[in-house]
Structure formats: C-alpha cells, structure tokens
Amino acid sequence: MPTGDSPLNTPLKLAALLSLLAGPSAQAQDHAYFDWFEYTGHDPVHDSVELQPGQFLNPVLSGFYPDPSNTRVGEDYYLVTSSFAYFPGLPVFHSQDLVHWRLIGHAIDRPDQVDFGDLGLSRGLFAPAIEHHDGIYYITNTCVDCGGNFVITADSPEGPWSDPVWLPELEGGIDPSLFFDEDGSAHILNNGPPDRTPEYDGHRAVWIQRFDTETLSTFGPRTVLIDGGVNFEEQPIWIEGPHIYKVDDWYYLTAAEGGTAVNHSQVVLKSRSPEGPYTPFEGNPILTQRDLPNDRPFPITSAGHADLVQTPDGDWWATFLAVRPYEGDLYNTGRETFLLPVDWTSGWPVITRPGEVIDYTLDRPALPEAETGLQPMTGPFTIRDEFDGETLSGDWLMWRNPQSDWYTLNNGALELELREVSLSDFSNPSFLGRRQQHIYGEASTLVHLEGPGQAGLATVQNDEYWYTLTVVVDESDGRSVEVRRRNGAASPQAGALLGSLPFDTDTPSGVRLRVVMRGPQIDFYAATAQGDWVEILTGADARLLSTSVARGFVGVTIGPYAHAVRD
C-alpha cells in the first residue's frame, strides 16, 4: 500500500481526531460508518472439478487482474497487472510457486505520479511489463490519455517506485516491454501504428528500439518487427503485448493477436538477432480458445496476452489473461490471470494446441511450497475486513486520483465522508471497492447513517453502469433502504429507483446490507443488526454490469459508498 503523504495512508488530520474523540454522532451529518465488510464466493464449476494433491486451480488470480506480466529473480517471482483508472494502480504480486500470489504493493500509489483526471475507468494504465536487471526492477507502462508511455524503477518490488520517466518516441503506441540481452544491452518493444497509413481497422505493428538504462531513454533507430501480425493477408488485428526471450541462441518474440475478446490469441516468431528479421511459427497461434465450441461447459475464453517465465530447473510457464463467461460473451469478473505450462518439444514455445481446452485444474509447477497464510485469490473463499487496522488492505481501490482525505479508519470502523461527488461524475467519489472474483458471490456490510444523505454498497462496472443499495435519510421523506441503477449514458445520472422500503435506519446498531451476484442476476437485501434479511429487490439484470454491455476493459468492483445528497 502507499507510503508517505498518500491519502490512502495519511495520518489522521485534526478534524478526524476530533471526530474520533467525539464519537460517531458528532459527525453524523457528514460521515457514514461501516463496521465491517464481508465478501464470499463459490462458483458452480468449483463443485464440478476435483482438486487433487499436487494440483492447482485456474485462474490463479480471479477477478479483474488483466494483462499479467511476470519476472523471476532467483527463486522469487513477481507479477504486475493492468489497473486502468483505478487508484492505487499497477498491483505488484510476489510468489514462490507461480500459483499462490501475495499482493506486496502498487507501483502507482502516489496521486502525483500520474493523473487520471476525469478519464473513463477503462483509460489510464494499460498492460504493464515488469523486468529485473542488475539489481533494479523496471516497469514499463502506458497511461492512455494521461501522458503516454513511461518507465518506473525501484530497488525493491515492494517499492517505493519512482516517478514516471516518459518515453516520447513511443508516442501513439501502447504495451511497452524491456528486453535485456546477455551482454547487458537493452531494447524496448511496443505496439504502435504501422510505418504507413493503416490498411485496415486494427492494423498495428510491433516496434523495437535501443534503451539506455542510465538515462532511462530510447536511442537509435526504431524498427518494425511485426507488421499487422503473423499473416498479413488475413488482416490480423491488434498485435500487442510483445515480449522477447533468448533461448539457445535464438530470440523468440511473442505477442497477442486478434483483439482482447473471443478471437484473442498468442503468436510467436524467432530470429538470430533481437532486431530481426523474425520468422513466424507455422503452428501459430500458440495459445487461443477461439477454435472451441461455444456451448462447452464452464468455458474459458479470450485467452492471450501471455508472458513466459523459466524456473530454476528449466521448466517454462506462461501467465496470461482469459475470462469466464456465465453466458455467451457475458462476464462481470473481468479478465483474469491464468497459468499454464509451456511445451518446447517442437523447438517453439506452445501453450495450447489446436482444440485444446484450458483446464481448471493442472499439476503444480515443481517448485517449493508456497508461503503459508496467504489470502486466497481463487476457488471458494470468504474474506472479512473488520477495518481494525491502521491502514486499508491493498484489496481496496478507488476511482481515479484522490484530491482529499475523504476516508479514515476510526475505532474499528471505516468512515466515509458524505460528499457531493456521485458515481456518475467521472471523478473520485466516496467509494472504495474490491474486485468481484466469482460469478456467484456476495458482499455484505453494517452501515451507520443518521443523515441526511445515503450510504451503503455500490456494485459498479463504470460511471454509467452501476447498482447501489443504500440507506437513505431524507429530511422530507424519512428513512428507507433503496436500490438504484444506472444503465448507460442515456439513463439518469442519479440512477433509476428500482426498489425502496421504509426502514428504521436510526437504530444505534446500524443496518446490514447484502448484495448477491448470481451470474446474470443480482439481488439486494437489508436487515437490522440482529434481524432477518428483508428482500428489497431480487432478480435484477446483472448483465448490464458485464464488460460486453458496459464496454471497456475493467471488471466489477463492489464496496462501501457514501453520497451527500439523495440521488
């Protein structure tokens, strides 16, 4: 988590100290209090697969963790994923077995490193790549619509990471990555426009250029390594996410191809020089699920954007993104991180062969046992946050850069300031979310609000597609629990009222709220602290929260939300 003066870790200000001393009632009109938050999930596929001793379960990072890039340092593995306009950004994970991952920090954890402004949630930080060389950790990344391509460095993967050093020669491109050759020389690759007017929609190229590790700058000529894709006659789209690996005097160049939806894939080429020319593998793609029937049970689709890593014993593995739709191409959990072995028997790295299904269960890598006590990141699990620490856990995210200290942790409760910034404002509302990691999951909390205003749980895909389940205190209409929904830019910014129930929200013990996600449906309940659950609305359409409907590249997050005026 952030350090220093970041609003996510700032020591309590004077106003917060006065609030703590006076108790909740002294600030009741300005704040909402959440005693705890619980998330639990168990998907139907978990009842259909049997995990044997020595096996692991895919995905290894469930929920919105796309575009994984990894690197090995000795016997340790580090991984980073995209985060777009969420803050803090670029989560960094550590593992000793490639299966169990522990969040150790965020590479973008200070508001002044990059500024997301009022960008849509699917802009911002795209496809990072992490490397280690000569004692220094590097992450290359693109801040789309907020600065372009950059590199950051750190002495430790936990951070702190440096401020961005921008790479202007990569302007117009995305997905930069570094390759360090055996002699210490470095190259930077990226997706960029072709060297001429694009010949079709999605026509892109992979470029390479020398990189100076002392000045953190590019130099020398830029060269096109892949024009369009491995077979230009087929007009392949969105060649991106390139990486180079050197194996037995050959340089292998891999990249994603086909777009990040159901036609996603990974391709490979090789050369005797990092700058090419490269010859494509006749068996491409080396990873895809686009050649499988759509009606297969518990499908895993849209596989691609892989990064390879070799273990000390010489085995190779690939981390990559894929999705788990609940119907058609609908999924709310976002693009997730999967793990598969890499087969080199043909002289080329192959992850899946034609018609091969990505399995949910596989034999674990031959690596030491993972550290104990890790938070589960896949399979059935329950996580409960009592908000009794000095700082929030790294699971919690907010929209865009914080401009003020609008939350604190007080007396074992999360305190959110009631501000006039709503979920529809393309700004930084009083919302803290954690990823939905199951197709079938639920979230619950205990909230105190004396009003006026609203506070509760928000289940969000972006600023224009969300549900709220909130306690509402209105000076004229009294107290109630409401469900509201926003369904696109044309829908009311305040959300349409779908369900409302008068409720005694003035109880000193607070009101419990519960959101249940069941694939394409979502349910909302409320209860007093010790009472039975009361149905507010069930069977609402959760498909509007899917990536396919709401568009973009993120997944659903859910968590505490507070707003100063009644939406």
If phi over 0 gives left and psi between -120 and 50 gives alpha, with beta otherwise, what is residue 291? alpha
DSSP letter, residue 295: T
Interatomic CA distance for residues 72 and 533, integer angstroms:
48
- Would residue 327 show up in a list of annotated catalytic residues for this protein? no
Among residues 150, 142, 139, the alpha carbon closest in space to that of 125 is found at 142
> CA torsion, points 370, 373, 377, 379, in degrees to nearest 10?
90
Q: How far is CA 475 from CA 33, 296, 502, 565, in A?
A: 20, 54, 14, 11
How is residue 342 written in tokens?
A: 């890499």
CB contact set of 12 (below 8 Å; sequence gap of 6+): 20, 408, 410
- Would residue 417 show up in a list of annotated catalytic residues for this protein? no
Strands (E), 284-393: 287-288, 301-310, 316-323, 336-342, 361-363, 381-385
Among residues 468, 530, 470, 476, the alpha carbon closest in space to that of 503 is found at 470
Question: Amino acid letter at 375?
Answer: Q
Return phi, psi of residue 394, to 5°. Answer: -70, -5
Catalytic one among 240, 257, 307, 336?
240
If one counts every other C-beta atom within 10 angstroms of the C-beta of residue 388, the result is 11
Q: How far is CA 482 from CA 152, 273, 378, 430, 474, in A?
A: 44, 63, 32, 18, 12
Catalytic one among 67, 97, 336, 417?
67
- Catalytic annotation, residues: 67, 240
